[in-house]
């Protein structure tokens, strides 16, 4: 998200109004500092709508002052917090002769944690006898582009179902209710 757009009042809410998010869904919000208004606004929006909020952030930033009008940080607005343990300055590679390190760690750590969440979720679904469609590289013997089309089709059907479920909430929001 462009940093200027993120700072527009109510941008997160307006964007999320158009997403098929429904009560009982989950959302993962990534925010290194946990102080950006867009992440906090997203969490507060989701909580109001009965969505389970997971925050992936660095708890090292919890000592920094709160800047959001709600008096909360992302970690305060979430149901579950996953700590990246990334340092406040984020950068981790010291350079001789430079006053500050380079190479941010939060993005890499967030990516690793996202894939770990996917793997653990798949494991829990498997224990319940549920298998979701998974993309496989067409470079693997036997995998075709048709396999990818099938998975996109399943995803599209699920999104249509979610959008139908979300439609009454969306219509009420558009009426200003």
pLDDT in tens, 32-50: 999 988 899 999 999 999 9
pLDDT at 1 over 60: no
- CB 106 within 8 Å of CB 90: yes
Residues 7-41 as b or e (16 or more Cβ within 10 Å = b): eeeebbeebbbeebbbeebebbbbbbbbbbbbbbb
- What is the pLDDT confidence band of residue 14, given thresholds at 50, 70 and 90? confident
**Global model pTM greater than 0.85:** no
The residue with tokens 């048709």 is 146
pLDDT at 129 over 80: yes
pLDDT at 144 over 70: yes
Name which of 22, 87, 33, 25 is nearest 55 in CA terms.
33
Distance CA(98)–CA(80), nearest Å, equals 37
Distance CA(149)–CA(131), nearest Å, equals 18
The region of weakest confidence among 10-14, 97-101, 114-118 is: 10-14
């Amino acid at each position: 998200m462009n940093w200027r757009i993120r700072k527009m009042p109510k941008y997160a809410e307006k964007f999320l109004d158009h997403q098929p998010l429904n009560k009982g869904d989950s959302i993962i919000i990534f925010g290194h500092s946990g102080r950006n208004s867009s992440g906090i606004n997203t969490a507060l929006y989701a909580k109001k709508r009965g969505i389970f909020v997971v925050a992936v952030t660095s708890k090292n930033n919890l000592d920094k002052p709160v800047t959001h009008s709600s008096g909360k940080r992302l970690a305060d607005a979430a149901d579950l917090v996953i700590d990246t343990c990334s340092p406040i300055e984020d950068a981790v590679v010291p350079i001789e002769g430079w006053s500050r390190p380079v190479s941010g760690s939060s993005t890499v750590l967030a990516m690793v944690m996202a894939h770990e969440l996917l793997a653990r979720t798949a494991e829990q679904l498997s224990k319940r006898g549920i298998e979701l469609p998974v993309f496989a590289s067409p470079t693997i013997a036997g995998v075709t582009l048709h396999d990818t089309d099938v998975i996109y089709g399943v995803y599209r059907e699920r999104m249509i179902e979610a959008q139908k479920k979300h439609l009454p909430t969306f219509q009420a929001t558009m009426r200003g209710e």
